[in-house]
Amino acid sequence: MDFQNNTTKKLFFTDIDGTLVDQKMNFHKSEKAVTTIKRHSDLIVPVSSKPAGAIYTLLQRMKLNVPFICENGGGIVIPQKYQNKFKQVPHRHIEIPEGLLICLGVQRNKILRDLDNIENKISQKYGLPNYFIISPDMPQSSEEIISLQPYFPHWTVEQIREGCSPQKYFDVAFQFKKNVDIKGEIKNEVISELQARGHTVLKGGLFYHVLKGCDKGKAVKKFTQIFVKTHKTRIKTIGVGDGENDLEMLHAVDKGYNVQDQNGKNLLSKFPRIISVPQIGPRGFSWVVKQVYKSP
């Protein structure tokens, strides 16, 4: 490719919950690091299981108007500010309130049908209540919002409403109800049934996530390809995450970093290509940014 200049632009792909923000959705510990990235004219690209609306709302609070990857790699969102640089997108895309959504995954209606069928099948097999699975996707009432509080112990009711209500397109989140005795073998059977139907099941910090035809790593690679093609510049990619569902993302970049979780553990330390960060969450993210700009 004919690059227009010899500078190398850095792209920071980062998980949100437990990496860019803490458990209470505060971002003050990573604010200086974000400012450093902007000062160098580099780009931060949040990557999350969250839907586009929830990510967009959080980024507006952080004064970040940047592209992002939503729903575990199901889609790439290009905000209005960046659309003039992404005029020719070689993939199916739709306009959504948050910008241009490049669709990478299979849309979620089939996943919801399959999860419902599996829940009915297993509840009959083991004599469980009809609904032993709970999903935070688009609850309709205040009672449903409140029923989710045990699954978001560090969030306010308003944060739960904000994080769960926006429209989703690809990812279905679920958890086994806390007030029902669900043995490990039953949980494994639910996951195996989903996988047998061609779905990918990821374990996030709060919920299981079910998707099809996409992952964070593929989305990171696709965004990188589009960025290089449209900006005609050399790039270096950095990935930062705290959990197992960030693994594909961290393997898709030039250099991947695993920050410690809230218990001070590096959950991905067994993977030799991934660098273990000696700091928790947003402090770990800040540590990574300092290390990157120290390097030649």
pLDDT one-digit tens code per residue, 231-249: 888 999 999 999 988 999 9
3-state helix, strand, coil in the chain (%, to 5): 40, 25, 40
Residue, of 150 and 124, whose pLDDT is higher? 124
Please give the pLDDT value at position 289: 97
Fold of 8-105+214-294: Rossmann fold (3.40.50)
DSSP 8-state secondary structure symbol assigned to residue 27:
-
Q: What amino acid occupies position 258?
A: N
Contact indicator for 116, 123 with CB cutoff of 8 Å: no
Predicted confidence band at 23 (pLDDT cuts at 50, 70, 90)? confident
| d(C-alpha 137, C-alpha 64), whole Å | 25
Please give the average per-residue pLDDT across 188-201, as a whole number.
95
| d(C-alpha 83, C-alpha 100), whole Å | 7
Contact indicator for 14, 239 with CB cutoff of 8 Å: yes
Token pair, residue 201, equals 């099941």
Please give the average per-residue pLDDT across 27-47, as a whole number.
95
Please give the pLDDT value at position 295: 65
Q: Is the overall model pTM greater than 0.75, yes or no?
A: yes
Three-state secondary structure call for residue 9: strand
Q: Which of 12-26, 121-135, 137-151, 166-180 has the highest mean pLDDT?
A: 12-26
Predicted confidence band at 296 (pLDDT cuts at 50, 70, 90)? low
Kindly tell me the number of DSSP H helices and DSSP E strands found in the chain: 9, 13
Token pair, residue 35, equals 């400012």
Q: C-alpha angle with apex 223: 220 to 229, nearest 5 degrees?
A: 140
So where are the chain's domains?
A: 8-105+214-294, 109-211
Residue 183 clears pLDDT 90, i.e. is over it: no
Contact indicator for 234, 224 with CB cutoff of 8 Å: no
- The mean predicted confidence, pLDDT, of the chain is 87
Please give the average per-residue pLDDT across 143-166, as a whole number.
69
Burial (CB count within 10 angstroms: exposed 0-12, middle 13-18, buried 19+), residue 185:
exposed
- Those residues whose C-beta lies under 8 Å from the C-beta of residue 296, and which sit 6 or more positions away, are none
CATH number of the domain located at residue range(s) 109-211 in this protein:
3.30.980.20
Residue 276 clears pLDDT 60, i.e. is over it: yes
> How many other CB atoms are there within 10 angstroms of residue 110's CB atom?
14
Predicted confidence band at 206 (pLDDT cuts at 50, 70, 90)? confident
Please give the average per-residue pLDDT across 179-193, as a whole number.
90
Residue 3 clears pLDDT 60, i.e. is over it: no
14 beta partners:
46, 240
Please give the average per-residue pLDDT across 98-113, as a whole number.
89
Same fold for the domain at 8-105+214-294 and the one at 109-211?
A: no
DSSP 8-state secondary structure symbol assigned to residue 150:
G
| d(C-alpha 223, C-alpha 240), whole Å | 16
